[in-house]
Amino acid sequence: MQARGHGRLDRVGVGCAWGFKLATGDAPFPLKGAYLGWQTGNRSEAESVSRTTRISAESACHWREHHRKMQCMSKSFEELDFRTTPMGDLSLRRRRVPLLDNREVYEVVLGDAFLMSSLFHDVEVALADLCLVDREGPLDVVVGGLGLGYTAEAVLRHSAVCSLVVVEAMEAVIAWHVQGLVPLGAGLSADPRCQFVNGNFFALAAQPEVGFDPERPGAKFHAILLDIDHSPGNLLDPSHAPFYLPEGLQTLARHLHPGGIFGMWSDGPPDDDFLKALGEVFPNPEARTVKFPNPLLDCESSSTVYLANKPG
């Protein structure tokens, strides 16, 4: 993972390594069993085992010791929410990282994929800043993919922005923000310019007459920022694929005002095929490599931000 040197893969590698180490410890059961221990919350792991299994004094002692360890570990690892969704199991976790002076880190995991970690958000912020810098308002903006809210928050820091629609497929992710379960949630929810829309970005992108804002069908925007898939070649779901082809991008451009901008986060280095597809719709698209410090691996990582302007 480290050798690839790109943001989201680093998140995957680091997250998996920590997740596995903290969750399993020396516990004699697989990863999922360990999570169940936390999910049951007020019921102890030892209790739940002794209710279902006849255990020897020796193993009861083992479980008491194990339970003590679990309680210690649970102070540095909590699963704040877990839901089964059509896209896979979705989990929100908060952990403390001993290597970083017990810094608190939030993570979103979907199935096997680490969607987001609060430890790495420089490029998510850069996506907003690169798209909005020097743009005069008032600006109507769309963000595809709420995650932990870093891109959305960075958009709202631009005073020229008068409205932001954040399209998020997972109801649970929106709920985490509305309930203030994630650090940026309360601020985003309280900002009158910000509206969360529970929907599939790619389905809405394919319907310019419907548009991204249910309150303003067919509305056009000054900027559309996308951070959902890992990269144009590494998708969360195969149904997203048509969006990344010239026809899909052409349809997306119909949501933009003349002079509007499309920006996209991507893991990995610039993808020539995707740049070519962008170039069939937008003149002179760019792929910017954005570097950021990786404190866990003590190195610099990078991701790509694509920028494409619709002619004015």
Q: How many CA atoms lie within 13 A of 8 on its CB side?
A: 25
Report which of 209, 211, 262, 260 is spatially closest to residue 232, judged by C-alpha positions.
262
Report which of 105, 100, 104 is spatially closest to residue 118, judged by C-alpha positions.
105
* Residue from 22, 23, 105, 116 binding ligand SAM (CB under 6 A): 116
Which residue is at the shortest CB distance from ligand SAM? 147
* Residue from 15, 145, 263, 268 binding ligand SAM (CB under 6 A): 145
Distance of alpha carbon 175 from alpha carbon 253, whole angstroms: 30
Site for ligand SAM in 46-85 (CB under 6 A): none
Cβ 224 to ligand SAM shortest distance, Å:
12
Instruction: Check residue 149 for interaction with ligand SAM (CB under 6 A).
Output: yes
* Residue from 14, 92, 126, 146 binding ligand SAM (CB under 6 A): 146
Site for ligand SAM in 187-246 (CB under 6 A): 200-202, 227-228, 236
Q: Residue 182 or 253: which CB sits closer to ligand SAM?
A: 182
Q: Residue 52 or 84: which CB sits closer to ligand SAM?
A: 84
Interface pattern 265-304 for ligand SAM (x via CB under 6 A): ----------------------------------------
Q: Residue 165 or 281: which CB sits closer to ligand SAM?
A: 165
Which residues of the chain form contacts with ligand SAM (CB under 6 A)? 115-116, 121, 124, 144-151, 167-170, 173, 200-202, 227-228, 236
